[in-house]
Each structure stands twice: as structure tokens, then as C-alpha cells.
Structure 1
Amino acid sequence: MDHFSSKDMALKVQKKILSSVANKTSVQMFIDDTASDILDELYRYSKEYSGNKSEAQKVIKDLIKIAVKIGLLFRNNRFSTEELSMAQDFKKKLHQGAMTAISFYEVDFTFDKTVMAELLTSCRDLLLKLVNTHLTPKSHGRINHVFNHYADPELLTKLYEPDGHFRPNLSRICKGLNKLVEDGTI
């Protein structure tokens, strides 16, 4: 039986179009100014840490594409009740990660790279499970790329050095995270 749905087709087209034009202007409906500021700061930090501008751009572009696609799936009611429960678990884990990141920043010498890396890895695994049947293997690779990049213990250690070069970046990231937590976004 040939199953055709214009709604499904429209969603596929939207995902494809947004994949090819994922930039600040086209994704403002899914990513607010605060989140955009955090992404900019993550980009600056990644670029300076790795010395690789194109890799830093690719990580942020992958992150934006994933956020937009998940936003589209939510907006089009594509998640089952069970998946919505998984999404709540992901949001709780993301909130825990944000609170932990902020706490490690505010209280010097409490940073634990293992804890932070495990939180990010746990978020990645929940997200992969959530989108398992909705996104392509290429998108799953993007999720892995983003979370594996930011869960790198060396990258995290450099970011959290109390008197380190990247302290201003961390300050701006945590300020944005704090605002998202206060707003209830995460």
C-alpha cells in the first residue's frame, strides 16, 4: 500500500531546507538571543582552544541543525507520548548539566571533568534515543559530533581553569545558562 502524506512531505522539505540554510537569521524562531549568545561563545572558545576555525564552525552548525530539526519535530507533534516523556527526561538532564556547569564556575576548585563529561554523554544518549526513528543516521552523527566535542575532558579542563585564559568565555556561557534556567527554557 502506497502511503503518502502531504504533512510528512512538508516536514521533510522543511528539515531539508533548514539543513542547508542553518544560520542565525533562519533559525531565530527556534533559538532565542540568549541561546545564540551562548552558541557564539562556545564557537569562540572552541575556535581558540582547537586553533581550527572550520571545526569550531562545523560543531556549532551541527548543533544548530539538530536544535532546529528537533524544534520542527515538536512543532509538528511528531513525538509519541513515550517520546515526550523521554524529551522531559532530556530536559531535566540538560537542566542538571546547566546547573552543574554554573556551580562549577561559581565555586572555584570544585570542577570535576568526569562529572561534566558524564552529564554531557548522558544528554547525548537520551537525545539519540529520542530522535532514533525521526532523524537520519547523518543527524545522529551530528549529535555525536557535538556532544563528543564538548564532553572532551581536556576541553572542559581548559575552560574551567580558575585563572585560565578562557575564564571570560566561561563567565559569558554561564551568564547565558543562568538566564535560560531562570526563564525556564532549560
Structure 2
Amino acid sequence: MAEAGFNSRSLGMQIQKKVFGKLASKGVVKALIDDDSGILLDLLHKLAAKEMDQKRAQKLIKDLIKIVIKVGLLYRNHQFNDTELAIGLKFKMKLRNIALTVISFHEVAFSYDKGFLVGAINDLAKLLHDLVERHLTAKSHTRINNVISFFTVGDVLDKVFMTDGVYNDMLPQVSEIFGRVVDQEWSV
């Protein structure tokens, strides 16, 4: 007879989240994700490494990877209830809208609006926090905040989207990848 309160399915999920979180290295993730996502991660790492020291840049990427893996694991194992699935759909739509905004900022000269983009990213973060509230630890929420603050605090977005920005040369490739992903995976 099982002990009261013991749930092997829950324990299995905890172990999977821990194991996949520990395996969140660039090499392992490349085996688990598609080419476009890998390229985006590489570009983000390149950008982060220019903005901060190498160790912090690797931590940022590792945090992002852990978040993505854990959310994917929760979804794949049907851990989200109906309310959370609705939040997940809103998250997907917001992510799609941000991708389309990035494409638009690339294609239409001088259309970049930092306030709008930061607001959209913060909205995305709120949805992500709400989605995983019941499932992930405070440490995971800190990881989410770490990734989001990289984009919303400081002038990183300006350096990418301003026509004279030092990282503006990355924008065409990001825009192209977002275009493919929006068409293939994030269509409504």
C-alpha cells in the first residue's frame, strides 16, 4: 500500500525537471531543438557575450534553456490544467505578436518603438509566470526574470533595433528566422 501523499507521477515529473535542468547545455539542447531555435540561441549568446562577461552570458542562455525545457516537459506530460492551457495559448499568441513586431521593425525603417516592445515582453513574462506558477520553484521564476530583464533593462534593444545600433547587423537573420517560425509553428 502506498504512503499517504506519495504520487509516483509527481515524483517522476520532479526528477525529469531536475535532470533536464541539469542537462541544459548548448550541446544537449541542439539535439533537442530545431535548427532555427539553435541559431536564435547562438545569436542571443553572441549578443549577451558582448554585453556582459562570458560567465553571465552562459548563465543567461542556460536559464532560457531550462525554462523552455521545463515548460515543454510540463506540456508534453499533460501537467497543465484548462486554465493554464488557456494562459499557454495567450502566451503563444503574445510570442507570435512579438515575433511579428520584430519582423516589422526590421522591414519598416524607423518604426522601432522601444516602449511598445518592452511592454509586450513584460506582458509575455507575466503570462509565463502565471503559466508555471503551480509547477516551478521560485528559482525558476528568478530565471524567467533574469532572461526578461536582459531585454527590458538597459539599452540592448536599442543596440539591436536602432539603424545605427552596434548589433543591428543581427536583425536580418533574427527577422528571417522569426518569419519561418511564425509561418510554420505559431500560425493561428
Alpha carbons 2:93, 2:186 under 8 Å: kept: no
Bigger shift: residues 56-65 or 21-30: 21-30
Return the alpha-carbon distance in structure 2 between the equivalents of residues 71 and 97 of structure 1: 20
Percent identity over paired residues: 36
CA gap 1:61/1:12 in 2 versus in 1, 3 angstroms = same
Alpha carbons 1:30, 1:71 under 8 Å: kept: no
1:45 aligned residue:
47
Alpha-carbon distance, 1:30 to partner: 5.0
Return the alpha-carbon distance in structure 2 between the equivalents of residues 121 and 37 of structure 1: 24
1:81 aligned residue:
82
- Name the SS of the counterpart of 1:26 in structure 2: helix
Alpha-carbon distance, 1:29 to partner: 6.4
Return the alpha-carbon distance in structure 1 between the equivalents of residues 98 and 45 of structure 2: 19
1:20 aligned residue:
22
Q: Structure 2, unaligned stretches of length 5 or more? A: none
Bigger shift: residues 148-157 or 83-92: 148-157
Bigger shift: residues 145-154 or 121-130: 145-154
TM-score by length of 1: 0.93
1:1-43 Cα deviation digits (max 9, x unpaired): 7222221111111111111110234335653211111111011
Letter matched to residue 18 of structure 1: F
Aligned-pair Cα RMSD in Å: 1.6
Alpha carbons 1:38, 1:177 under 8 Å: kept: no
Q: Structure 1, unaligned stretches of length 5 or more? A: none
Query: Equivalent residues in 2 for 1:1-186 (5 A)?
Result: 2-28=4-30, 30-48=32-50, 50-185=51-186
Return the alpha-carbon distance in structure 1 between the equivalents of residues 90 and 32 of structure 2: 20
1:125-147 Cα deviation digits (max 9, x unpaired): 00001100100000000001101
TM-score by length of 2: 0.92
Greater RCO, 1 or 2 (C-alpha within 8 Å, sep 6+): 1
Letter matched to residue 26 of structure 1: V
Alpha-carbon distance, 1:96 to partner: 0.6
